[in-house]
A and B are shown apart, each in its own frame.
Chain A
Amino acid sequence: MLAFMARRLLQAAVSLFVLLTIVFFMFRLLPANPVDAMVDAALGPEAIARLYAEFGLDQPLWQQYVLYLKNIITKGDFGMSFFFRQPAVDILADKIVNTLILAITALVVAYALGTLWGALLAWYRGSAFETAGITAALTFKAAPEFWVGMIFVMIFAYGLGWLPHSGMREPGYEETSVLLKYLNLDFLRHLILPATVAALGSIATPTLLMRNTMLEVMHEDFVELAKAKGLSTLRIIYLHAARNALLPVVTSLATNLGRAVGGMVLVEYVFSWPGLGREIVLAATRYDYPVAQAAFLMIAALVMLMNIVADLLYGYLDPRIVYK
């Protein structure tokens, strides 16, 4: 078990290193650089040369690369953002929290509702209810999140005026404590629309997964036994059958969580949510290499970590799996 963990972590570290190298050189191959991205500045050759020197872009490529790796390994320093003049990691830290809150809320809601719904669909297999249910789930999956977002904003924010159309908090809020920053009604109100849109976009996966695994356990003896005992339908579905069908759903939640962090870009864009996705897009479009590289690395690390967690969960929930 420990050996398994150690091997997986080592593999992840190697993968991250390769990824970092690829991203590093991809950025340097781009046909423009951060100074070109300083729009409308008319700096002149001397000022531009000074900027190159400040950013370390006047060094040979391999030296930049060696220095970059050295700083990461010895100091945990991912470099300074060219535009923010702050360490790249600081730039990303609060953004990743914002995105995680959005992603976790959306996924937890999607998985909670999806599993319940999927179990029902399995139970009523072959009926018109099932067809309608599946069609609904697939429609949510087929609708692009940004389009649903646009429509929701139109209806619930501009039309009915129930919820705010963008942002994370009411402008000009008082900042009290770190915890209260997130645990308050205002924040919750702002979270509802983007989280709902993101949840709708991902609800089909748990629904269909749950339905499929349910169908597989449905034929097993203990369900028949429960039926014979005359237990109520709902009781059988959720207390007996569903429990045994949850395994793949839970592991898929873990892996999807890793991926969702990088996949919230569109929801963040439509709802002006100050998240990691928007930050990466901004960094990539203006060649802010340190920020973009650190963000790529962070997301990749998270995905790999969640994959390991999924594997462990799998083993924990299903004792038949042996790690070797």
Chain B
Amino acid sequence: MSVGQVLRALVRDRLALAGIIIVGGFVLLAIFAPLIAPYDPDAIHRVDGRVARLLPPSSQFLLGTTNLGRDVFSQVVMGSRIALQVGLLAAFMVTFVGTNVGLIAGYFGGRIDAFLMRIVDILYGIPFTPFVILLVSLLEPSVWNIIIAVSLLTWRTVARICRAQVLSLAQRPFVKAARVAGASHLRIMYRHILPNILPIALLEMSFVVAWAVIAEASVSFIGFGDPRAVSWGKILHSAFIAGAVRTAPWWVAPPGIAIVLLVLGVHFITRGLESIVNPRLRGE
């Protein structure tokens, strides 16, 4: 099944369509964020000369302000950029590395396979959050380092799944035929096998998007996110640290809801993809 067919099938799925609309909405929000956000998310606002601390939502500050007089609405809008950046970039890197490793391991087998699978085993054993903290301390905290950490630890799953797929594909007649016809390894791998594992890679990719968004939020929430970036997790972190969870619901609810919505949208798409890749799951 080609990627185009997959997409067309996806739009026909109700939940998946809802997912596409939600995620598309967030993408638009992220693209036009600077136009939508009324203020600089880092600007400290003052009312009558005093810092506008913890103001409830009003027409001036749609979602109220933080303890340092920053506009929550602007922060949440700008936060969509970080979430999507992390989700999409991590997913792309993971899929790229994972698919290639899976392809190479499954196709060549033998020692190469054993070696690559050992690496995958080791990666499975590394606990995520402590590893991110370690990496962030090593390289300075930044959005990029979180993406790197997510990517380093997540390609293992994709690699494993792709490898299994390649192993079964390698026995198929069309691959054997190509080999007999004298096609090079590269050509067989990328022209003949890759298109067949792409749908499943796409599925894994959308798993990773969701996972990466949550991972960034979690890491930021416990205080190891990018200090300069306004991410949803970090907004929640600031509220939690300030001790304003109960006094300022306008500061705590919006970023949380944004995370849930975006990730839910991605999950809807993932589920749709899953039932296309594996038609028996459609349950018709």
Contact = CB atoms under 8 A, between A and B. Distances in A.
Contacts of A135: 15, 264
A256 to B, nearest CB: 12
B246 A154 contact: yes
A274 to B, nearest CB: 16
A292 B281 contact: no
B245 A150 contact: yes
Interface residues of A, number: 60
Given A154-B245, A280-B130, A284-B133, A139 B122 contact: no
A263 B125 contact: no
Contacts of A189: none
Given A11-B121, A144-B221, A134 B130 contact: no
B240 A150 contact: yes
B259 interface: yes
Given A292-B130, A301-B125, A138 B264 contact: yes
Given A139-B264, A266-B218, A281-B222, A300 B126 contact: yes
Contacts of A215: 280-281, 283
B182 interface: no
Given A126-B284, A150-B245, A215-B283, A143 B129 contact: no
Contacts of A134: 15, 271
Given A280-B127, A300-B122, 18 more contacts: A26-B135, A30-B134, A126-B283, A131-B15, A142-B263, A143-B260, A144-B221, A144-B256, A147-B236, A150-B236, A215-B280, A216-B280, A263-B127, A266-B129, A281-B130, A292-B130, A296-B126, A299-B125
24 contacts: A18-B122, A26-B135, A32-B137, A122-B283, A142-B210, A142-B214, A142-B267, A144-B214, A144-B218, A144-B233, A208-B271, A262-B128, A263-B128, A263-B129, A265-B129, A265-B130, A266-B218, A269-B222, A280-B130, A281-B129, A281-B133, A299-B125, A300-B127, A304-B124
